Structure 1
Amino acid sequence: MHSCSERRMITIIWSLCLVFCLSQSILVFGSSHAKHLCLPDHRDALWEFKNEFNVQEFNSNGIVGDKKTEKWRNNTDCCSWDGVSCETGKVVGLDLGFSNLNGLLRFNSSLFRLQHLQSLDLRFNYISGILPYSIGNLKYLRVLSLRGCNLFGKFPSSLGNLSHLTNLDLSDNDFTAGELPDSIGHLNKLTELDVRSTKLSGNFPRVLLNLSSLISIDLSSNQLKGMLPSNNMSSLSKLKSFMISENSFYGTIPSSLFMIPSLTRLDLSRNDFTGPLEIGNISLQPNLRYLYIGENNFNGPIPRSISKLVGLSELSLSFWNTGRSINDFNIFLHLKSLTSLDLSGINLNITSTLHFPSPIAELIISSCNISEFPKFLQNQTSLQVLDISANQIEGQIPEWLWSLPALMYVNIAQNSFSGELNILPNSTTGYFIGSDNQFSGEIPRANNLQLLVLSNNNFSGSIPRCLDNLNTSLVILHLRNNSLSCVIPEEIISDRLRSLDVGDNQLSGQLPKSLINSTRLEFLNMENNRIKDKFPFWLSSLPDLQILVLRSNKFYGPIASPRDSLSFPNLRIFDISENLFTGVLPSDYFVGWSAMSSAVGVVYNMQMILAPGITQELYHKSVFVTNKGSNMELVGSVFKIYKTIDVSGNKFQGGIPESICLLEELIVLNMSNNAFTGRIPSSLSNLTNLQSLDLSQNSLFGSIPLELGKLTFLGWMNFSYNRLEGPIPQATQIQSQNSSSFTGNPGLCGVPLQETCGQEEETTKQEQDEEKEEEDQVFSWIAAAIGYIPGLFCGLTIGHILITSHRRDLFMRTIH
């Protein structure tokens, strides 16, 4: 038994221990909590950085982003803000990718006060301007991603100051880059470099050969040229991925590339390389798994040395000019890991006994002069992707094709298939392209389709309402140029729909109202049908809509409403020609059509991952427009940048809207064959990218504005059959036009017309006043578009000063 004094001592000791433990816990908790509180100067810098940008509805990739900075709250712990990470109260990471930031990254931005930043991700925002030299002040940066930010100018040499940098991604910008700065050669820790699609030019950047830590290099889709270094490529001894596709490199591929033991991915496609292809002495178990050397200038037989690359999983040899048909597929027999093979553009003689040593998941044999459906495919139970387009295959599709258990994607376009299309309802195929054939009959019922392209065939009847599950899965539906005659079923419209093209049929009824739920819709083409409906104002609620073509139908009524403001922020092609539209277009009609008023790219990447490692472009979008008086089809890169407005062949009245001057990126403007009145706005000279202008067959009066002569790209214009008068401006761009561009205007004179002008009379005061009024109105719309809030603030301030002054005068009078 302990004595009382001993028990008291034990109690005191335990109490002291408890107090000590509690105090330590409090200290630990306090220090732990304190280290997460950001430093005040870091918080202030972040808050100022937030206020340097506007947050728009869509980011620079046209996607609704997270708007992370809108969730920040001042005078709170910035380490808890979205996208911010800290260490001991210092901001070390800033992830604001896809945050819809819109503004200029200034050289004195508060961002550069965050000296402890180790990771900076601002990808896919509209952070325009030149990449400031100040970026080199962030000397502890390890990761820098500015992909898709609309930056331009040159790469700053200060990037070489970022000696800790391991990952650098500047891809998908508008740099007028020239060559990479030599200072990049100082980044000895750099492991990943991505500068694809940055307009990089010159020869291969030899400074990269000094960066022995590089694991991945992507120089794709640039303007590089010349030969690759022949002997030094092996200095990149840790390189795993080397991608330089879509440039202008030429000469032979250095064998030293194949000698890099760590290399797993090599993409040299779409260049001008020539043979011979020297793979050299490599081990029997190389690491190279992905080899893409298609679309170059290789001639002669495919080298048997490729069979040494026994680890290959994906191989593209497309458009290799072999000079003869390939009958011998033995070179592929050693590639026992091969799952993807692209032999497009090579003449093939495929026998029914052909087999591969491994299960093929992706086979692309487009443009191979094949005249029979390849029967060996019947045994390819692992086949997921099949492209046999642009061949000479006739007859019907064999039914066994639809029983292949893994088949997901089939492209048989541009052949001579005929008869009825026999897609089996229970097929696993989700992506089917059968355009440009001779199919007839009705469109078959099919399950779970996400993509269906059957354009340019002879289908008739109606669009089936019972295309199972289309209401939940359909992404692409293209049925143009057939003989379909029906009302478009509401049931086929999916909320996932991104592209709908049913032009050049005999469709009737109204536009499906269910399209209002297709919030991802980018492309809508209804041209050359019999659709009778009012203008679909509700389409302006579709945030991604880029292409709207309603031409040659029976749409009627006004396209402007006093109740509904019409704003298409991403619209690039607006064609409502040859309808029955009426009314007056308000002066502010085109305010808010952002994509046509700025060079912001809003092109979407219509690709889909079909399986691991298998990515397919889902369809080739194209559209016909009227340009320079003729119809032309827009495809490829031209399609992606084209911006046009065509309201011709309607019954519009009133003046040409002054807000048209805001659409500085317009390439084609066609307002012909209407009843427009008034003067031709001189503000059309703001459309500096305009190439084609058609204002013919209206009731426009006055003179042709002298300012139009400043439009250096304007190669075609038509003012015929109006009530214009006076001398034709003496500008090369205008007087080089054919005389037919000015006929039907009895008051016009001068070259190229035969009517000579007498002595020019002075412009009357009334005309001067009208021109002055027009200029004032143009200025007001520009001001309204870019300066409403500052103007309002200034107005209120001036008003407040005047009222205060007036009250002071009254007060002084009262005293006296």
Structure 2
Amino acid sequence: MPPSCLRLHFLSLLLFTSSFLMINALTCRPDQIQALMKFKNEFESAGCNRSDYLNGVQCDDATGAVTKLQLPTGCFTGILKPNSSLFELHHLRYLNLSHNNFASSSLPSEFSNLNRLEVLSLASSSFTGQIPSSFSKLISLTHLNLSHNELTGSFPFLRTLTNLSVLDLSDNQFLGAIPFDLLLTMPFLSHLNLRKNHLNGHIEVPNSSSRLVYLSLGENQFEGHILKPISNLINLEYLELSSLNISYPVDLRIFSSLKALLILDISKNRLLPAGLSSGSDIPPSLESLVLSGCDILEFPNMLKTLQNLHHLDISNNRIKGKVPEWLWKFPRLSIVSLVNNSFTGLEGSSEVLLNSSVQLVDIAYNSMTGEFPVPPTNIIYLSAWNNSFTGNIPLQVCNRSSLRVLDLSYNNFTGPIPQCLSNLKIVNLRKNSLDGSIPDEFHSGALTQTLDVGFNRLTGKLPRSLLNCSFLRFLSVDNNIIEDTFPFWLKALPNLKVFTLRSNRFFGQLSPPDQGPLAFPELHILELSDNRFTGSLPTNYFVNWKASSVKINEDGSIYMGDYKNAYYSYVDTLDLQYKGLFMEQGNVLTSYSTIDFSGNKLEGHIPESIGLLKALIALNLSNNAFIGHIPLSLASVSELESLDLSRNQLSGSIPRELGSLSFLAYVSVAHNQLTGEIPQGPQFSGQAETSFEGNEGLCGLPLQGNCLSPPTQQPMEEDKEEEEGVLNWKAVVIGYGPGFLFGLLIAHVIASYKTKWFVKIVGPDNHKEVDPVSLFMSLDSRCDSFNNKRVM
């Protein structure tokens, strides 16, 4: 990481996340402890216990007054009220409530009672509305972070806060013009982040020299020529101006006066071609340059002069031809993203990357052909998915001890899989032409978390050494020629969440040998369609299926796989068959929980325990030999949207209770032995006629014609049998207890599996993994570098 970026990171780290100190009863007055505990009791605080809470408290040795309070992340949920006990802690100098959920609270004006505050951080805490004018009384503030909320209005409260050195108001809904005449005359302001608001207007820079070294203004709605004034801020080291929404092209030469500039992000703006052809006017000190999404057509020759370059992102452009050989000779180059261009290859020999200092390379989603180059010696992340590389995967990947992520999916590689997967965390070789078997070489303590070898020509059995992969979370072997029985032994893996076997030659029983529930401790996804499984499923089959808590991202999405460290984030994704259609899902969402056992030879009754899977939205049991009635317990699956039971031997009527499933949008029960009238209502009448064909005893809409007589009542014996089955099922549920409510299973994994990733700029020790918490801070969110574009 560039030294200045690192300095900015650690400045924020020291000021906003200083280390927790265990509270000492000898230094904190009893009345202060009482006020602290009263404050905790004002909220739902299941996210932290007493010890966690008090770890972030510090009191003055002399007076016993609380001077510092830092809540653990996710500790509080509830409304921050004006009469909160928090505002009784008048001696606070440091207050950090960030990353909690204050339930759309407005900011109480009573914050002004804490007039000794020097550091105040309320980032990512769900605050809404305008900032009270009383904030102007916090005249001792040196650091103010209100980022990632839903705050509105403008900034009149800032006029009295002349001691500010760090101000972060990013990711809010502030309006109007920025008072640069005020901000740039603040004597101590060095860090200003106003990114992602609704700010507009012109920018004026006063004649007085500004101390500003960090400026982030991207994703606003500026008007006029704002770049020339910014170029007068000659002390800038970090400048982020992405997505400015201005009408004229940006000439990079305008930044030639910024001799101290180390990091420049001008992504998602239109660039003037002349500024890309020559580097004589570009600050040679640049260490990080982000030009993603700038509609660039040719490789920028101006890069030749940037010998200090550490990080380069020119992804999501339209650059053609080959990547020049000189790029890989930069002595400090560590991170390169060329994703989503039209590159056809790399200049030079197959060893062009061998002696490069680069550690993270992403050349995905291009048109590169030929054999894959020998990877760099210190490579950590290597992604080349969606190209046209041929030949064998280079055996040198086995000699790269630093390599953690290898994604060569969607190419034309042939030959065997390298025998060295244990050292890699992420292995994605999907959709190539690899042959042989999956290496049975996973040693004890293997690091593997994701293994995806779907859509190849692999044979043999699943390697039993996978049991050594205690970190394994994602395993996909679909669309190969693997011949094996169902791997009940994988239930020993404590973290396995995703498991897809679709379209192989698996055979035998799906029921455990003891005929009990199928128990995988953390399984979210199981995909078994189009194999040769036989036998029946016991009624308690799904009782022990469960899913651990899932991660909710800032946009509300709940992702299945999420692998983060200081270098990269990697999200596992799949495609689904849903509502009878193949649908591309950008990420595997737990809200898209489905079961698909279709295309096997399963028989017997559909397990009543299917009704326990409350998160299920799609169920596909088609093309089997199930008999009996459609389970009444399906009416309990309230989120169900897609139901396919076609091509079985089901009998009886379609339960009217399914009409209560308000989200049910797709139904197919075609080619069974069902009788009686199709339930009326929007869930059924809106379906195609083909959804009910092949059942001679069915009548009513949407089939042609009406039923000629009232629906036939079920014989009393049949009713009695069904009632007994339901009663027996209730007993099973009581016996197994209410704790095991649902399992998250998934549908068809088709021929496109994609990955989303983005790289974080890292510390100076390029050979060691770094704690991501120490490097990811809200005050410097735009040291985030690049995010590749998915295939659509």
TM-score w.r.t. the length of structure 2 is 0.74
CA distance in 1, matches of 2:454, 2:636: 33
Q: What is the DSSP-based 3-state SS (H/G/I as helix, E as strand, rest coil) of the residue aligned with 1:485?
A: strand
Secondary structure of 1:609's partner? coil
Once residues 32 and 681 of structure 2 are traced to their aligned partners in structure 1, the CA distance between those partners, rounded to angstroms, is: 59
Give the corresponding residue for 1:453. Answer: 407
Q: Aligned AA for 2:267?
A: S
In the other structure, the counterpart of 2:652 is 702
Tell me the equivalent position of 2:426. 476
Amino acid at match of 1:576: L
The residue aligned with 2:226 is: 277
Could you say what the CA RMSD is over the residues aligned between the two structures, in angstroms? 4.6
One-letter amino acid matched to 1:696: S
The DSSP-based 3-state class of the residue aligned with 2:659 is helix
The answer as to whether partners of 2:537 and 2:607 remain within 8 angstroms in 1 is yes
Residue 759 in structure 1 maps to residue 710 in structure 2 = yes
Match of 2:453 in 1: 502
Q: Distance in 2 between matches of 1:766 and 1:91?
A: 82
2:437 aligned to 480, 487, 490, which one? 487
Partner residue, 2:103: 153
The 3-state SS of whatever aligns with 1:756 is coil
Aligned residue in 2 for 1:315:
264
Q: Are the counterparts in 2 of residues 203 and 227 from structure 1 also a CA contact under 8 Å?
A: no
Structure 1 residues 20-39: aligned runs within 5 Å: 35=26
Q: Residues 166-205 of structure 1, C-alpha deviation per residue, up to 9 Å, x if partnerless?
A: 66666667x5x654674894783666566666xx447456
2:294 is aligned with 1:343? no
Question: In the alignment, does 2:566 pair up with 1:609?
Answer: yes
Distance verdict in 2 for CA 1:538–1:569, change over 3 Å:
same
Amino acid of the structure 1 residue aligned with 2:490: L
Moved more, 369-378 or 337-346: 369-378
State the distance in 1 between where 2:537 and 2:133 align.
55
The alignment status of 1:409 with 2:347, answered yes or no, reads no
Check whether the contact 1:157–1:183 (CA below 8 A) recurs between aligned residues.
Answer: no
SS in structure 2 at match of 1:726: strand
Contact 1:527 1:552 in 2 (8 A): yes
> 1:208-227 residue pairs with structure 2 within 5 A?
209=158, 212=161, 216=166, 224=173, 227=176
Aligned pairs for 1:271-420 within 5 A? 276-280=225-229, 285-286=234-235, 288-303=236-251, 304-322=253-271, 327-330=276-279, 333=282, 335-346=283-294, 347-350=296-299, 355-366=304-315, 367-396=317-346, 398-399=348-349, 401-420=352-371
- Measure, in 2, the Cα distance between the counterparts of 1:336 and 1:234: 28
Q: Displacement of 1:233 after TM fit?
A: 6.9
Amino acid at match of 2:457: Q
1:427: how far off? 2.4
Q: Work out which of the residue numbers 505, 511, 530 in structure 2 matches 1:578.
A: 530
Give the letter for the 1:574 counterpart: L
Deviations 1:334-355 (A, max 9, x none): x233101111233143476852
Distance 1:33 1:634, change over 3 A: closer
Please tell me whether the aligned partners of residues 84 and 91 of structure 1 are also in contact (alpha carbons under 8 angstroms): no
Secondary structure of the equivalent of 1:382? coil
CA distance in structure 2 between the partners assigned to 1:537 and 1:365 by the alignment: 46
Partner of 1:439: 389
Separation (CA, whole Å) in 2 of partners of 1:653 and 1:40:
69
Matched, 1:737 2:737: no
State the distance in 2 between where 1:374 and 1:654 align: 63
More off after superposition, 711-720 vs 158-167: 158-167
Distance in 1 between the 2:143 and 2:522 partners?
33
State the distance in 2 between where 1:674 and 1:258 align: 79
- Contact 1:142 1:167 survives alignment (8 Å): yes
Cα separation, 2, equivalents of 1:602 and 1:351? 36
Map of 1:590 onto structure 2 = 542
The residue number in structure 1 matching 2:482 is 531
| Residue 547, structure 1, aligned to residue 495, structure 2 | no
**Cα drift, residue 487 of structure 1:** 0.9
SS of the residue 2:353 aligns to: helix
Bigger CA radius of gyration: 1
Structure 1 unaligned segments of length 5 or more: list them.
1-31, 60-67, 73-77, 93-114, 611-615, 790-816
Please list the CA deviations of residues 766-809 of structure 1 after superposition, one character each: whole Å capped at 9, or x if unmatched. 676667667667766776787579xxxxxxxxxxxxxxxxxxxx
1:255, 1:279 within 8 Å by CA — same for their partners in 2? Answer: no
Shift of 1:736: 1.0
- Aligned pair count reads 693
Q: 1:762 to 1:651 in 2, by over 3 A?
A: closer
Q: Is the 8 A contact 2:533 2:602 kept in 1?
A: yes
CA shift, 1:488, in A, is 0.9
**For residue 814 of structure 1, what is the aligned residue in structure 2?**
none
Q: Distance in 2 between matches of 1:311 and 1:722?
A: 75
* 3-state SS of 1:740 partner: helix
* Cα deviation, residue 684, structure 1: 3.1
* Structure 2 Cα separation of the partners of residues 599 and 605 of structure 1: 8
Instruction: State the alpha-carbon separation in 1 of the partners of residues 519 and 120 from structure 2.
Output: 37
Q: In the superposition, relative to structure 1, how do residues 640 and 230 fare at CA in structure 2: closer, same or farther (>3 Å)?
A: farther
Letter of the 1:349 counterpart: E
Displacement of 1:506 in angstroms is 0.6
TM-aligned CA deviation for residue 670 of structure 1: 2.0
Partner letter of residue 362 of structure 1?
Answer: H
- 3-state SS of the aligned residue for 1:660? helix
Q: CA deviation at 1:268?
A: 4.2
Secondary structure of residue in 2 paired with 1:122: coil
8 A Cα contact 2:184 2:205, kept in partner: no
Query: Following the alignment from structure 1 to structure 2, what is the Cα–Cα distance between the partners of residues 658 and 691?
Result: 18
SS at match of 1:376: helix
Partner of 1:20: none
In the alignment, the residues of structure 1 paired with residue 304 and residue 175 of structure 2 have an alpha-carbon distance, to the nearest angstrom, of 40
CA distance in 1, matches of 2:560, 2:218: 23
Alpha carbons 1:537, 1:564 under 8 Å: kept: no
Cα pair 1:596 1:643 within 8 Å, conserved: no
Matches within 5 A, 1:660-739: 660-739=610-689
Higher relative contact order (CA 8 A, sep 6+): 2
Name the counterpart of 1:805: none
Secondary structure class of the residue paired with 1:684 = helix
Secondary structure of the residue aligned to 1:507 is strand
Q: What is the one-letter code of the residue matched to 2:26?
A: K
Tell me the CA shift for residue 480 of structure 1.
0.9
Once the two structures are aligned, what percentage of the paired residues are identical?
A: 32
Report deviation, 1:124.
4.9
Residue 583 (structure 2) aligned to one of 632, 639, 647: 632
- Identify the residue that residue 85 of structure 2 maps to in structure 1: 137
Specify whether residues 787 and 35 from structure 1 end up closer, same or farther in structure 2 by C-alpha distance, changes over 3 A only.
same
1:249 corresponding residue in structure 2: 198
**Structure having the larger proportion of residues in helix:** 1
The alignment partner of 2:582 has SS state of: strand
Q: Does 1:645 align with 2:595?
A: yes
Instruction: Select between 81-90 and 489-498 the one with higher mean Cα deviation.
Output: 81-90
- Relative to 1, partners in 2 of residues 1:229 and 1:526: Cα closer, same or farther, differing over 3 Å? same
> Within 2, Cα distance between the matches of 1:763 and 1:563?
31
Q: Comparing 643-652 with 443-452, which one deviates more in the overlay?
A: 643-652
Point out where structure 2 has 5 or more consecutive residues left out of the alignment: 1-22, 553-557, 741-792
SS of 1:402's equivalent in the other structure is coil
1-structure distance, mates of 2:652, 2:208: 74
Instruction: Normalising by structure 1, report the TM-score.
Output: 0.72
Map Cα deviations across residues 252-283 of structure 1 (whole Å, 9 max, x no partner). Answer: 57456999945444444456666633452765
* 1:676-728 deviations in Å (ceiling 9; x for gaps): 33333344344444332222222333333334334343322222222333222
SS at match of 1:721: coil
